[in-house]
Chains A and B, each alone.
Chain A
């Protein structure tokens, strides 16, 4: 029973390149959430998706960031033209939906922009 799978675990990009982060939720979970965490900081909500729909993207910068959760395949968080301030740990979580279910988190992707 695989948990949330994120890849890559570590990603190094030069300023101006694109970063593409992937997340496969727990089998049977239809709700996916992306969070960003800076060192010694809390989890900052970015976006909440269900299959083929963005439910809430209020935490995601309107420029350079996009997210999708297609009918088939993993959820993708895409950061275009990365800058040093994008360096952080990006966590994906999934849940089956419902008030009594917490999230299952993936191991995260550590993005470093050089």
Chain B
């Protein structure tokens, strides 16, 4: 059974701080990892993808991947109230022709002004 685990939160951080969101996965041969943001009542929106060990930066967002430890994280620098949302971690296992994502249940982030 492929599993993706996230702390459900809520994670509260003050405006301007760094928010750190973590995710672990069970299928050690997974190759592709994604972070989605979902505002309440809205659909998920892709914000980051990462495939190799290490860090990947995009604006205020940094995704970190450690395949040996089977975890992926998302850092949000200079957090803003508009970042308040649920963040979903998604993992794509390998397999010819199978591009199905497994999602975690999400971490709810609240940025306090």
Most buried by A among B49, B92, B97: B92
Q: Is the CB of B100 within 8 A of A45?
A: yes
Q: Is the CB of B106 within 8 A of A42?
A: yes
Main secondary structure of the interface of B (DSSP, over half): loop
Interface 1/0 per residue, B35-53 and A, CB below 8 Å? 0100000111110010100
A2 at the interface (CB under 8 A from B): no
Q: How many A-B residue pairs have CB under 8 A?
A: 57
Q: How many residues of B contact A (CB 8 A)?
A: 25
A55 at the interface (CB under 8 A from B): yes
Would A48 and B100 be within 8 Å (CB), given that A100-B49, A102-B90 are in contact? Answer: yes
Contact residues of A between 1 and 54, Cβ < 8 Å to B: 31, 33, 35, 41-43, 45, 48
Q: With CB as the reference atom, state the residue of chain A lying closest to B46.
A: A102
A100 CB contact (under 8 Å) in B51, B103, B104: B51
**Bound Cα distance A33, B98 (Å):** 12
Q: How many residues of A contact B (CB 8 A)?
A: 24
Q: Is the CB of B102 within 8 A of A105?
A: no
Residue numbers in B under 8 Å from A33 (CB-CB): 100-101
B34 at the interface (CB under 8 A from A): yes
Most buried by A among B44, B98, B106: B44
**Bound Cα distance A33, B43 (Å):** 14
**Bound Cα distance A100, B51 (Å):** 8
A65 at the interface (CB under 8 A from B): no
